[in-house]
Amino acid sequence: MKPKLIAHGGAWSIPEKFEKAHLRGLRRAVSEIYPQLLTSISALDAVEAAVKILEKDPTFDAGKGSFLNLNGEIELDAMIMDGSTLNFGSVVAVPNILHPVALSRLIMENTEHCLLAGTGALHFGKQMGMEEVDPHELLTSRELKFYEKIKNDPDFKTKSPFEPHPKGTVGAVAMDQNGNLAAATSTGGTPRKLPGRVGDSPIIGAGAYADNETGACSATGWGESIMRVLLCKTSSDLLKEYPAETAAKMSVQILEKRVNGWGGIILIDKQGHYGFAHNTSKMAFAYADEEGKAIARIKI
Ligand code: ASP
């Protein structure tokens, strides 16, 4: 199979002044990782590595640059899934690590569990040799300013209107030379969320899903709505009957019609076709084209 790689950097009303940074970060993730996917690494390695690049980039709401919760803390959610085995690993509300996607993979491959939460997840990561970082290393002045602005606003809702509040979750979907599919998603969640709040990103079938028999997806958007329709599993099921583009569009239509949801999705079907859809005003993504070139776009 010809390897494929697509990544996203959130679906929201990305202000023009942030567009370049989104495109640069996403292009970098695809152009650095796709050549390795062509020659050596697996789909699972590729989605982990691409998401790690995006977690390190302060542009996005994942790892460094994440939103603060109501208490002014950063709590991260992430998930990774292997489409060949249906194995997955997730972390929810974990503090003080830069790469929750890597911790998710360690959980998947080194424990009998699928999902670890909070300080338990952090403790396991440290046991496995992951570095605990000072929370300030994850904090950007942009998010601190935004938090100061909204922290005492009783009318601020993470849900409604979903826009124009920034949502820059990241995700990646890949197919390797063996036709194996994988997906990963990582986020700081929503701004001013209640401490302990967990969104769709680390929930299997909601924020990500991968099945070699159908396809692999990563979602972004208003998590409470995405969970209700299990957006990624819904897309994966639709892939049994519809082409990639149609399945992506139909699942976002279901999100909108059934639960008034907001979001976007990227996917690769089992034949290696890309699919993409969103109902937010913009979505940032990048993919490797037929020649292996990284194409980055902000889609309106
Ligand atoms: N889906 C994420 C959440 O609700 C946010 C996002 O995608 O931007 O936690």
Give phi and psi for 113, each to the nearest 5. -110, 170
Tell me how far apart the alpha carbons of residues 10 and 16 are, in angstroms, rounded to a whole number: 14
Residue 285 and residue 297 in contact, taking contact as beta carbons nearer than 8 Å? yes
Q: Please give the pLDDT value at position 157.
A: 72
Tell me how far apart the alpha carbons of residues 45 and 174 are, in angstroms, rounded to a whole number: 9
Q: Is the CB of residue 223 below 6 angstroms from any atom belonging to ligand 1?
A: yes
Domain 4-299 in this protein, CATH class: alpha beta
Q: Please give the pLDDT value at position 158.
A: 65
Q: How far is CA 193 from the centre of its chain?
A: 18
Q: Is the CB of residue 220 below 6 angstroms from any atom belonging to ligand 1?
A: yes
Determine the distance separating the centroid of ligand 1 and the alpha carbon of 166, expressed in angstroms.
10
Q: Please give the pLDDT value at position 160.
A: 45
DSSP letter at 73?
A: -
Asked if 169 is an active-site residue, the reply is yes
Whole-angstrom CA distances from 89 to 112, 175, 217 are 10, 18, 15
Q: What residues does 79 pair with on adjacent strands?
A: 90, 185
For the beta carbon of residue 195, count every other beta carbon within 10 angstroms.
Answer: 12
Q: Ligand 1, closest atom to CA 189?
A: 9
Determine the distance separating the centroid of ligand 1 and the alpha carbon of 188, expressed in angstroms.
8
Strands of 60-180, DSSP E: 76-82, 87-94, 115-117, 170-175
Domain ranges across the chain: 4-299
Q: Residue 90's closest CA among 184, 180, 194, 211?
A: 184
Q: What residues does 216 pair with on adjacent strands?
A: 210, 268
Whole-angstrom CA distances from 277 to 164, 172, 299 are 19, 14, 9
Active-site residue (options: 158, 169, 187, 190)? 169
Q: Please give the pLDDT value at position 281.
A: 84
Amino acid at 11: A
Residue 97 and residue 133 in contact, taking contact as beta carbons nearer than 8 Å? yes
Q: Please give the pLDDT value at position 18.
A: 85
Q: Please give the pLDDT value at position 146.
A: 85
Q: Please give the pLDDT value at position 282.
A: 87
Whole-angstrom CA distances from 55 to 64, 125, 216 are 6, 16, 20
Q: Ligand 1, closest atom to CA 166?
A: 8
Give phi and psi for 33, each to the nearest 5. -90, -30
Q: Please give the pLDDT value at position 161.
A: 38
DSSP letter at 139?
A: -
Determine the distance separating the centroid of ligand 1 and the alpha carbon of 198, expressed in angstroms.
9
Q: What residues does 269 pair with on adjacent strands?
A: 215
Q: What is the pLDDT along the chain (300 residues), one digit of tens a residue?
A: 899 999 999 887 777 888 899 999 999 999 999 999 999 899 999 999 999 999 999 999 999 989 899 999 999 999 999 999 999 999 999 999 999 999 999 999 999 999 999 999 999 999 999 999 999 999 999 889 888 988 888 777 765 434 555 557 899 999 999 999 999 999 999 888 999 999 999 999 999 999 999 999 999 999 999 999 999 999 999 999 999 999 999 999 999 999 999 999 999 999 999 999 999 888 999 999 999 999 999 988
Triad 260, 147, 98: Cα angle to 5°: 90
Tell me how far apart the alpha carbons of residues 105 and 18 are, in angstroms, rounded to a whole number: 30
Locate 227 and state its tokens.
Answer: 């969970």
Residue 128 and residue 89 in contact, taking contact as beta carbons nearer than 8 Å? no
